Structure 1
């Protein structure tokens, strides 16, 4: 099979399209014929060697894919050959991947592979952050930083679906327009001017019930300063490349709660909430109330370009690798 592999840490230029053996599913696993895979910002961090953990080289990047079940290992129930599934598993940028059967979700009728591949990492991260970590309620005011990116735009969409008043902050008019299309009531361009002043001018001082921050960097602290007493700040990642240094006296003065969410280990540490969230989100997905925004689609041979699009933060929503173009 063809697979995009990285042989040395660095930029997306380190990706090569190799011919490798098709993997074999073991007990409890399935083989998926991949039709589409989604690029996520952590993929670019892993390639650069800047992620929290490292994978031995060479390896196939990507953790989010959709396709058809083409092999079934021992002990797998509930799936049959030919099922259309979305999966969260490493090695997604290839024509086939092996995944635990438990991470496969049936794709609803009428949804194509690209949309199915683009949903789970960002939207489930956002759902956990809003539902289980920030515990958003209808009527809450929620600030989403990086609102044009994959996780940010998903958080806007889900928070709006929960009945929250969403304040979307992003770095360009195009990203803010995308956020408005997903339900943001207030938008702020933080590419110029002071974020804190803009928050005070649009929603009022100390009006935020929660902040969802997948970006980090210089905007985290001013966002925290405008949270209400007892509000919740959720840190999801550092797409800006800068881990913010928060003065802890702000937490004292605000009575605020700062929480972190790491999607890979959330189910391990809080299995009950993870199971509930996944079931609730799957219902939103199957009934069409949640739909990802597709920014661009690239063939497998252009995986480098797809990763670069995300690494440079040009992607609005999700960037897709069409592993098998024409199969929708």
Structure 2
């Protein structure tokens, strides 16, 4: 099968298109013919050797995919050959075929294109889990979203609006802010042109944001500490700026602020360093049930047109470099997608 292969950690340009054997699904797994695969910041970090999970080399990158099932492994029930599905995987999405854990595979509506479906394995449930499970975002609260024009930011805006929040979107440039407005943001801030802290405080009449969703890190996180409301919640979702912030504990103390870690791979079981132990399986099953219920609500919101699943561009697998550069240069508006 045709695949994009990482033979050594380094620049994205070093990846190669190769013909490799089609994988076989093992017990509890399915084989999927990939219709589209999402390009993500996490996948880029993996290729560069900077992600916390480092697959053995060589490997096929890619963590988000949609397609149809072509083969069931042993002990798989509830799924069928030919079924249109989406899922997240620890690796392997950038290929014509990919193996996935059946427990993490979910059906998608016939009306949902594969490209749009790549937003749902990780982006939407990450925003949902962070805002609902962790931050307990309430209707009427103010949600500040950084990186609002990228895939993570746009999904957080839409999920926040579906939950009834007032959303402030922070992004750099008119195109990204236009996408944030289309996603439903109530207030827009161009951090390149405006004083982010001052604008947030002005919008909130001096109180600050109740919840901050931050996939950027660096200066954005530092400013957030100074415009978050008392008893506010900050969620560092990633570090697209390239800088991992250091948190001054005195600000947390004085303002009663909570900083919340959230890693979605923990809930699906594909983000760990190895297979879960028998002792861990019951807890993992409960977490996967949480994910399934979240996905049901997300699919309902999609059917109600509350979630747009914006696509920034669709690229052939051989055109991976411009797709990744949209992520690397932070010019992406929505989700970049590779088609094997």
The TM-score, its normalising length taken from structure 1, stands at 0.94
- Whether 1:48 and 2:61 are equivalent positions in the alignment is no
250-259 or 113-122, larger mean C-alpha shift: 113-122
Query: Which residue of structure 1 lines up, in the alignment, with residue 299 of structure 2?
Result: 282
Query: Which residue of structure 2 lines up, in the alignment, with residue 61 of structure 1?
Result: 61
Partners of 2:230 and 2:236 lie apart in 1 by: 18
Checking the alignment, whether the CA contact within 8 Å between 2:162 and 2:301 is kept in structure 1 is no
Distance 1:275 1:70, change over 3 A: closer
1:188-207 equivalence runs, <5 A: 188-207=189-208
Partners of 1:273 and 1:223 lie apart in 2 by: 29
Query: Which residue of structure 2 lines up, in the alignment, with residue 314 of structure 1?
Result: 331
Q: CA deviation at 1:318?
A: 0.3
Q: CA deviation at 1:287?
A: 4.7
1:55-94 equivalence runs, <5 A: 55-89=55-89, 90-94=91-95
SS in structure 2 at match of 1:200: helix
Q: CA deviation at 1:249?
A: 0.6
Q: CA deviation at 1:308?
A: 1.9
Partners of 2:256 and 2:293 lie apart in 1 by: 28
Q: CA deviation at 1:304?
A: 2.4
Partners of 1:189 and 1:108 lie apart in 2 by: 36
CA RMSD of aligned residues (A): 1.6
- Whether 1:35 and 2:35 are equivalent positions in the alignment is yes
Q: CA deviation at 1:274?
A: 4.0
Partners of 1:209 and 1:252 lie apart in 2 by: 16
Q: CA deviation at 1:314?
A: 1.3
Distance 1:267 1:19, change over 3 A: closer
Checking the alignment, whether the CA contact within 8 Å between 1:119 and 1:291 is kept in structure 2 is no
1:218-229 equivalence runs, <5 A: 218-229=219-230
Query: Which residue of structure 1 lines up, in the alignment, with residue 242 of structure 2?
Result: 241
Query: Which residue of structure 2 lines up, in the alignment, with residue 296 of structure 1?
Result: 313
Checking the alignment, whether the CA contact within 8 Å between 2:30 and 2:71 is kept in structure 1 is yes
Q: CA deviation at 1:305?
A: 2.2
Query: Which residue of structure 2 lines up, in the alignment, with residue 10 of structure 1?
Result: 10
SS in structure 2 at match of 1:246: coil
93-102 or 189-198, larger mean C-alpha shift: 189-198
Q: CA deviation at 1:288?
A: 4.2
Partners of 2:12 and 2:258 lie apart in 1 by: 37
SS in structure 2 at match of 1:98: strand
Q: CA deviation at 1:195?
A: 1.6
Query: Which residue of structure 1 lines up, in the alignment, with residue 274 of structure 2?
Result: none
Checking the alignment, whether the CA contact within 8 Å between 2:229 and 2:255 is kept in structure 1 is yes
152-161 or 46-55, larger mean C-alpha shift: 46-55
SS in structure 2 at match of 1:120: coil
Partners of 2:64 and 2:170 lie apart in 1 by: 26
Checking the alignment, whether the CA contact within 8 Å between 2:200 and 2:209 is kept in structure 1 is no
Deviations 1:67-88 (A, max 9, x none): 1110111111111111111111
Q: CA deviation at 1:222?
A: 1.6
1:205-216 equivalence runs, <5 A: 205-216=206-217
Distance 1:140 1:174, change over 3 A: same
Query: Which residue of structure 2 lines up, in the alignment, with residue 107 of structure 1?
Result: 108
